Amino acid sequence: SLTLALETSCDETSAAVVMNGRTILSNIISSQVPTHQKFGGVVPEIASRKHIETVITVVDQALAEAGTTLADVNAIGVTYGPGLVGALLVGVATAKALSFALNKPLIGVNHLEGHIFANFLAHRELEPPFVALVVSGGHTSLVHLKDYNELVLLGQTRDDAAGEAFDKIARVMNFPYPGGPYIDNAAKQGNPSAIAFPRAFSGKAGENKFAFSFSGLKSAVLNHLNSAAQRGETISIPDVAASFQAAVVDVLIMKTIAAAEHAGVNQIVLAGGVAANSSLKTELALAAGKQGLTLFYPPPVLCTDNAAMIACRAHYQYLAGEFADLNLNAVPSLKLGCR
Ligand code: ATP
Ligand code: MG
Ligand code: FE
């Protein structure tokens, strides 16, 4: 069974064809990063226009590279949330038009579930149940995936997402947007114990122990940079990058291991753009190994936004008969576990 999927939730226009949910036949990603870089972040109105200009070409390329045609596709999947409303609408409208014109089933996909399902593309042997740590540009969440269509949200961030903290701090350090990969690189030359930035473990009674908070850490790093500048001190960018990254990674690891124990699973998966972070992958693999847990993560190209992960997720909804109709609309603040 062939799934054609579209992803336009943020600044990547992507279309992919995936066979039986697990084999990528094509995964075309047209990134708008160069367009938005001069603004230091994604400009929503420009993103929507770029998606409109690009989406048909990207679909044509995905079909051509997969060696297939619209007539041979079995279902159309599309991200309908969360994301930028104008950007999402381009994908949703295109997918609805294709579904209507071809008389093929339409499947509305939650973008965050897509990030998790990228692991099924990268690891053929992977099966539920597992705990997933979703760390992306806009979200930080722990999810218990009991079965393909049964996801339970264990906790999420109360303020900034992990990727957001990476990007904001990188911006102050004058790295280009998105700054996560630049911090990752700079940190390799730095000392992670150089500066003791706060870790928000928040184990207080009555609080969800799987919730996250990164705004305090972000402020601490910004204060450190500002006060050093005021005193005219030279700061070591690699040390600040490594110390900040260690503070994020420590909290993510501690909570992910605790969540796996809580859920009673022996597999954990990483998902979302920050899952490409080298320190997170190495340190979590070490911690997981000590607990007898197996860690899975996708290759970097499947960590950030792409339509193949959406096609994979759509396939399992297809098998369950979870179809959308032409009333499907963009839902900018769609929550994990909601479809
Ligand atoms: P969401 O999925 O929450 O809607 P998004 O789609 O914008 O947000 P993703 O594409 O999943 O986010 O990920 C982009 C984020 O990943 C950016 O914040 C980027 O800085 C971060 N990122 C990418 N590579 C790395 C890395 N090596 N280290 C840290 N962060 C990284
Ligand atoms: Mg992006
Ligand atoms: Fe994303």
Q: Which ligand is nearest to the CA of 214?
A: 1
Whole-angstrom Cα distance, residue 3 to residue 78?
A: 10
For the chain, what is the HEC assignment? CEEEEEECCCCEEEEEEEECCCEEEEEEEEECHHHHHCCCCCCHHHHHHHHHHHHHHHHHHHHHHHCCCHHHCCEEEEEEECCCHHHHHHHHHHHHHHHHHHCCCEEEEEHHHHHHHHHHHHCCCCCCCEEEEEECCCCEEEEEEEECCEEEEEEEECCCCHHHHHHHHHHHCCCCCCCHHHHHHHHCCCCCCCCCCCCCCCCCCCCCCCCECCHHHHHHHHHHHHHHHHCCCCCCHHHHHHHHHHHHHHHHHHHHHHHHHHHCCCEEEEECHHHHCHHHHHHHHHHHHHCCCEEECCCHHHHCCCHHHHHHHHHHHHHCCCCECCCCCCCCCCCCCCC
Q: Hey, whose CA ends up nearest to atom 8 of ligand 1?
A: 137
Phi/psi of residue 115, nearest 5 degrees: -55, -45
Q: Hey, whose CA ends up nearest to atom 12 of ligand 1?
A: 137
Q: Which of 305, 309, 310 to mutate to test the pocket of ligand 1 (most atoms within 8 A of CB)?
A: 305
* Per-residue pLDDT in tens (0 to 9) along the chain, 339 residues: 999 999 999 999 999 999 999 999 999 999 999 999 989 889 999 999 999 999 999 999 999 999 999 999 999 999 999 999 999 999 999 999 999 999 999 999 999 999 999 999 999 999 999 999 999 999 999 999 999 999 999 999 999 999 999 999 999 999 999 999 999 999 999 999 999 999 988 667 778 999 999 999 999 999 999 999 999 999 999 999 999 999 999 999 999 999 999 999 999 999 999 999 999 999 999 999 999 999 999 999 999 999 999 999 999 999 999 999 999 999 999 998 877
Q: Which ligand is nearest to the CA of 83?
A: 1
Q: Is the CB of 273 under 6 A from ligand 1?
A: yes
Q: Hey, whose CA ends up nearest to atom 3 of ligand 1?
A: 138
Whole-angstrom Cα distance, residue 62 to residue 191?
A: 43
Q: Is the CB of 166 under 6 A from ligand 1?
A: yes
| Residues 46/35, Cβ–Cβ less than 8 Å | yes
Whole-angstrom Cα distance, residue 214 to residue 140?
A: 10
Half-sphere exposure of 119 (CA within 13 A, CB side): 30
Q: What is the largest CA-CA distance in the chain?
A: 67
Q: What atom of ligand 1 comes closest to residue 11's alpha carbon? A: 7
Q: Hey, whose CA ends up nearest to atom 10 of ligand 1?
A: 304
Q: Is the CB of 177 under 6 A from ligand 1?
A: no
A 10 A CB-CB count for 146 gives 14
- Which residue ranges are tagged as binding site for substrate? 134-138, 167, 180, 184, 277
pLDDT tens digits for 3-33?
Answer: 999 999 999 999 999 999 999 999 999 999 9
Whole-angstrom Cα distance, residue 178 to residue 339?
A: 29
Residue 265 alpha carbon to ligand 2 centre in Å: 31
Q: Which of 10, 11, 37, 136 to mutate to test the pocket of ligand 1 (most atoms within 8 A of CB)?
A: 136
- Beta partners for 150? 147
> Which ipTM score applies to this complex?
0.98
**pTM for the whole thing?**
0.97
Q: Is the CB of 298 under 6 A from ligand 1?
A: no
Q: Is the CB of 81 under 6 A from ligand 1?
A: no
Q: What atom of ligand 1 comes closest to residue 276's alpha carbon? A: 27
Q: Hey, whose CA ends up nearest to atom 29 of ligand 1?
A: 180
A 10 A CB-CB count for 173 gives 17
174 sits in the region (left: phi over 0; alpha: psi -120 to 50; else beta) called: left
Residue 108 alpha carbon to ligand 2 centre in Å: 20
Residue 75 alpha carbon to ligand 2 centre in Å: 25
